[in-house]
Amino acid sequence: MSQNNTDQKNRKESANASGRGIRGVNLGNWLVLERWMEPEIFRGTDAEDETWLNRDLPKAELEKRLKKHRETFITEKDFEEIHKLGLNTVRIPVPYFIFGDFPPYSGCIEYLDLAFDWAERWDLRILIDLHTTPGNHNGYDNGGLVGVCRFHKEPRAVAYVLHVLERLARRYGKRRGLFGIEVLNEPISLPVYLFAPTTGKARDRKEAKGSGYVPLRFLRKFYKEAYRRLRVYLPEDKAIVFHDGFRLPLWGRFFERAGMKHVYLDTHQYIWAMEMFLPFHRLWLYWFYVMLEQRMIRRAERHVPVIVGEWSNCNRYAAFQRNRRYHDQGTNIWSERVGDLKKKLDEKLPEDIKVLNSIREYSQEAARVVAEERRKLQREIRKSCMAEQRRRFRKVANMQLHAWEHAAGWFYWSWKLEPESGRHTVEFWKESWDYHRSVRNGWLPKKITK
């Protein structure tokens, strides 16, 4: 074996050894806002993203809402609970304006400082994830500006983002709680861009002019430059993470050949996204999809450790089809019970039914018994529905947890959605995106064990 191949093998083994055991959650919607995760902060505006929220809302009102949100949405208590659930790492999405030097946006670096204090206190590590860019790099709301994807075409924006990454590395590079820095979240590929629901949906079409997918050639060049700059401030025991750009099979030996040390490739896997293209909500299809992605992860890991940086247990098999058979079963049971009730009530019917008072008493008794039986049946059916739903969610969750164990680690999206995790979300379909609520509902394990 050549010396070069030996070095590559050693780098890979070292990276894999240090990365095994990453079990984490994303702290989404804390420092980077996504309307669907908490609509309240967008109240009174038509904004679908953080850029337009800044444009639509008066500055004083916006600052008031942001301050309240950032101080209450995630607190030290969340870090404590994450630790107690057996997780060891948090991935924190941050905006490009985190340092507060990109008007009109308000910086939030002080909250990331707090996160490091809390993480170190509760024996957690942090992966800083640069989630947004000027001009956006995927056209999604999570990139900061819906329908616009021009970042890769604007040299000044690219230079600014590289500078932000350097500043983050300089500030946190020696912190004990730092796991690493992720260079860019979800730069979009051509197939994903063509079918993305936000493509062509920019609120200001002039602003979106020239938008397009992020070419792999640009991404490789950008990743090399980002690595070079970050490694100046990051010791080799700190990771540098690169998103696959929705092109997991195409990276091959890129990182090895570039001589990069202690790096990871991040891939995002959502059954929910698969269902948008294959609307067949069956467990066997989920299994096939997850096994296919697991296979691709294993192939990629021949050259670079892979983490599943985002996954969720949201699926229609459990969330939206759970009531069909139970509704039919409940209808049949109710028909049978009504018949039984009628028979029992007839036995109580006074002999002289012509007496008005007796008829009134009979009617009242019948109404009371029927109402009570209906409530009892509803409780039974609801209990059955919840048990079946819990069983289905656990099946899908266990399937994914088993598959992602073959990667270097994983991060669930997300820790919480609406602030009060002690109650159900306003829209039930969101419930399974919330790790904290999913554990409470019995859809995810109460504690992750290594």
pLDDT, mean of each 10-residue run, the chain (450 residues): 43 44 96 95 96 97 97 97 97 98 96 98 98 98 98 98 98 98 98 96 96 98 98 97 98 97 98 89 94 97 97 90 48 53 55 49 63 66 77 95 95 89 64 94 89
**Structural contact between residues 448 and 398, judged by C-beta atoms closer than 8 angstroms:** no
Which positions ≥6 away from 362 have C-beta within 8 Å?
345, 348, 349, 350, 353
Q: Angle 216-233/155-172 helices, nearest 10 degrees?
A: 30
According to DSSP, the β-strands at 306-312 and 263-270 are parallel
Q: How far is CA 107 from the centre of its chain?
A: 23
Residue 302: its pLDDT value, please? Answer: 96
Residue 356: its pLDDT value, please? Answer: 47
Question: Residue 428: CA atoms inside 13 Å, Cβ hemisphere, count?
Answer: 9
Model pTM score: 0.87
Going 155 to 156 to 161 to 167, the CA torsion angle's sign is positive
Residue 244: its pLDDT value, please? Answer: 98
Residue 16: its pLDDT value, please? Answer: 43
- Residue 446 tokens read as 């109460």
Name the β-bridge partners of 125.
89
Residue 330: its pLDDT value, please? Answer: 46
| Residue that the structure tokens 């109710």 belong to | 334
Cα gap 13→16, rounded to integer Å: 5
DSSP character at residue 245: T
Rg (CA), the chain: 27
Residue 326: its pLDDT value, please? Answer: 46
